[in-house]
Structure 1
Amino acid sequence: MASQRTWLASYHMKGAAQTWYYALEQDEGMPHWERFRELCSLRFGPAVQGTRLAVLARLPFLSTVQDYSERYNAVLCHARDLSPRQKAELYVGRLPDQIKVHVEMRTPRDLQSTMYLAQAFE
């Protein structure tokens, strides 16, 4: 039942998570499920919300467009709230200059078009 989710989740906590929850429960009582999820994310989630965005912006081009595209997509699937244009611009940012200039000249509007052009100019 929805009313028992927080209790059930807290029951299975161990170590630092368990002591964190005990302190939380002393301060707030047993929180509603949505509040519990939010607090767990704040305490145990990534240190910075933009972490995936930073990884995308710094993702190195190591060998081929195919390799770069696969690694980019692996990180991108965890990033949120990016427009198609932003995804494309982040992708282009780490391409080698000889490919980047040709792709940028065609101003692709989305990631798929950008990846296609990068592959074509490799």
Structure 2
Amino acid sequence: MNHLRQQQERQQKQIEDAICLLLKQQEAARLERETQDKKIQEVLQQISKISCHDSEDPGNRRQDNQDQHMRHRHEDMEDDAGDVNQRELVNRGFARGIKLDFPRFRGGNPSPWIYRANQYFLYHQVPPGQRIFIASFHMDDEALVWFQDASEAGTFLSWEDFIKAVQIHFGSTPYDDPMESLTRLKQVSTVNDYKSEFEILSNRIRGLSEKNKLSCFLSGLRDEIRLPVRMLNPLSLNDAFGLAKIQEQYVVSIRRPWRNSLTDSSKFSPESNLLKSGQIPSLLGAP
């Protein structure tokens, strides 16, 4: 019984202590809330005073603001008069560390020239109304003759009209299908030349996925290069191009005549018969 009574007393003591702690916390929260209310009232009073002052003398307030603005402006001009011009140049895009030259166009395929011209205008933030004027100063030979005739006839009134006119006159015919040309493209020389032709055609096709580009690129490679590269399952166009370069170098090295490694007796060896038959092994693991 005594043990049970002592346990009940301890529990009651713990409850009383918890109640006392809760009361202390409530009192502290009340004091904190009163302090915050006082601060809020002080801030509201200050705001009220400022509003009353502005409403009583708005003319003086505006005059003070103007005087302060003029003082700041005068100080800025005295500190560094060149800062204004510098900021204007930065806003226009001309105060950058890289100098870009506008590309010249004499005729031929206009797509690279149009792309570089648009990049130039974007970099220097050239307004659309000035783009035709700037482009005309960088046209020569056949392109300049065409521009003179077209401008006199009023062929284009905007930069977009100018681009369309250039593409129609110097670009491919409307019946040209770059997708068909890409699927029919085959490697006839080196891998580098093939990739250059491939990129020219693929850049003209909008929305072509990387997976489709990779498939078209692999299908146009020579068999002796395409099959070993496919076995390694490249995941991107760059991977396929790198593997094709390696296989091309290996094929070239195999086809070179052996100078001192073959003797007369080796003419009847299996290796020499393999080379004569044209069955070239692959460095990339093709059987």
Identify which of 71, 75, 82 aligns with 2:197.
75
Q: Runs in 1 of length 4+ with deviation above 6 angstroms?
A: none
State the Cα distance separating 1:9 from its structure 2 match: 4.1
Give distance in 2, aligned partners of 1:117 and 1:44.
Answer: 36
Judged with a 3 Å threshold, the aligned counterparts in structure 2 of structure 1 residues 14 and 117 are, in CA distance, closer, same or farther, namely: closer
Q: List gaps (5 residues or longer) in structure 1.
A: none
Give distance in 2, aligned partners of 1:98 and 1:76.
Answer: 19
- The higher relative CO (CA closer than 8 Å, separation ≥ 6) is in 1
Q: Deviations over 1:33-60 (max 9, x none)?
A: 2222222222222333628x72674242
* Percent identity (aligned): 21
Identify which of 148, 167, 170 aligns with 1:18.
148
**Is 1:85 aligned to 2:191, yes or no?**
no
Give TM-score scaled by structure 2 length. Answer: 0.31
Judged with a 3 Å threshold, the aligned counterparts in structure 2 of structure 1 residues 22 and 111 are, in CA distance, closer, same or farther, namely: same
Judged with a 3 Å threshold, the aligned counterparts in structure 2 of structure 1 residues 106 and 44 are, in CA distance, closer, same or farther, namely: same
Q: Deviations over 1:7-45 (max 9, x none)?
A: 45457663334223333x1xx6x5122222222222222
Q: List gaps (5 residues or longer) in structure 2.
A: 1-125, 248-281
Give TM-score scaled by structure 1 length. Answer: 0.60
Larger radius of gyration: 2
Give distance in 1, aligned partners of 2:166 and 2:214.
Answer: 32
**Over aligned residues, Cα RMSD in angstroms?**
3.4
Counterpart of 2:24? Answer: none
Give distance in 1, aligned partners of 2:216 and 2:149.
Answer: 40
Kindly tell me the number of residue pairs found equivalent between the two proteins: 112
**Is 1:111 aligned to 2:225, yes or no?**
no
Aligned-partner SS, 1:14: helix
